[in-house]
A = this chain, B = another copy of it.
Amino acid sequence: MIDPILLKGFRDSLPKEEKAKKKIERKLEDTFSLYGFQPIDTPVLEYESVLLGKGGGETDKQIFHFEDNGGRKVAMRFDLTVPFARFLALHYSELSFPFKRYHIAKAWRGENPQKGRYREFIQCDFDIVGVDSAEADVEILSLMNASFKTLGIDDVVFHIAHRGLFNDFLEKEGIRERSVEILRIVDKLRKIGKEGVIEQLLPLLPSAESADRIISYITLGDGKNIDDAYSSIVSLLGEETENALRMKRIIELLGALGIKDKFVLDTSITRGLDYYTGIVYETFLSSMEAIGSVCSGGRYNNLASLYTKENLPGVGASIGLDRLMAALEELKSPLVSESPTSKVVIYFRKDEGNKALLAASGLRKEGISTDVYLFEGKKMKTLFDYAGKNGNKFLITFQDDGKMQVKNLETREFTICDKMEEVIAICQ
């Protein structure tokens, strides 16, 4: 006998969870379609050299990679961004730009499993590629807002910032060349706190005052609405730089759409990754900031440069579906609660099989989800357990006189029916 165990960090999805996942995915897909985004898919396995680029380094240890039976070095995708960049380069001539795509799929990383983190996880990415404008930025922000709305999550706050603005500030401070390191440290603010950030910044900076001014910059939006925070940035910079004007325009467009109050200017957001060049954002649920960002992203202006000479500016966001589902559980969202397997269950005794399947067929033709309880003749107690677990609302049984009994399992009322039409009318 083989022990039916799973690998560490991997999970099965039981019906309750899988039904919830499918519901959530459909809602998101419908919203993406409403915004004119199209789905794509890419292979789970690719050449290691294609996925890892020149680098390797830190990612290397975390990805699942191996030599296949044909001696090729292959790897399982560890996100949906790198395959998308490769996809854009490969299919450039077949796509029409601006290209708006979404992709909901699994990715794999060999991280040490912790609460809400798994080695197999589902990403949901959406991007607009081929244009660099405030309107494109706001289409993504507006879609983020619509996505959470469609999931019934209201207490969401989008924290936005701008990489270029941060660099404008560092330029003014005379420490622009240290940008990459500084942004990486600032990105840890939520984890290590102000003291931690200062401690790590000091060795890089000309003075302690410089560290203080960085802290002032990254906290300037705290407690302010987005317009006031923007004014603070401008007065700190002493001018409205090009990046500032982009941010101003974004705020203006959010205002025109009537969704400005969902956004805060959080200058501490930098996103660790190098490829971001414009706005960046993270999304927090007010009632549980601790679980971290449930949707993040930003503008990158040369994502596919590893694979093509075409210049492809883009902006996008990514929802971590596993974390989102954990959040919905905490919020006791109806989306993740147990949902009925079928509305109707039909019970039959020996020799009533024909009737049972025929009745099921009649109900299904009317779009009423119907289960046939296939343990003919089992005790009614077993049946009621089964119906309870499956959330059935109606139970149909057959009488000796050939009539059908329809029992409402919620009210316990029952009706005797001669014809299928009557049964259908009750169960509809």
- Interface residues, chain A, with chain B CB atoms under 8 Å away: 1-8, 10-15, 18-19, 21-22, 26, 29, 33-36, 38-47, 49-50, 53-54, 61, 64, 66-70, 72, 74, 76, 86-87, 89-91, 94-96, 98, 100-101, 106, 108, 110, 120, 128, 131, 133-136, 138-139, 142, 146, 249, 252-253, 256-257, 306-309, 341-342, 345, 348, 353-354, 356-358, 360-361, 364, 367-376, 385-386, 389-390
Contact = CB atoms under 8 A, between A and B. Distances in A.
Contacts of A139: 357, 372, 374
A342 B106 contact: no
Nearest to A40: B18
Contacts of A18: 38-41
A4 B90 contact: yes
A31 to B, nearest CB: 9
Given A12-B91, A38-B15, A43 B7 contact: yes
Nearest to A94: B14
Given A39-B22, A257-B358, A354-B252, A98 B45 contact: no
A341 B42 contact: no
A45 B7 contact: yes
Nearest to A25: B22
A390 B96 contact: yes
A42 to B, nearest CB: 5
A108 B44 contact: yes
Nearest to A60: B69
B39 A15 contact: yes
A368 B35 CA distance: 9
Nearest to A99: B15
B133 A376 contact: yes
A414 B369 CA distance: 44
A357 B389 contact: no
Contact of A45 (B19, B21, B120): B120
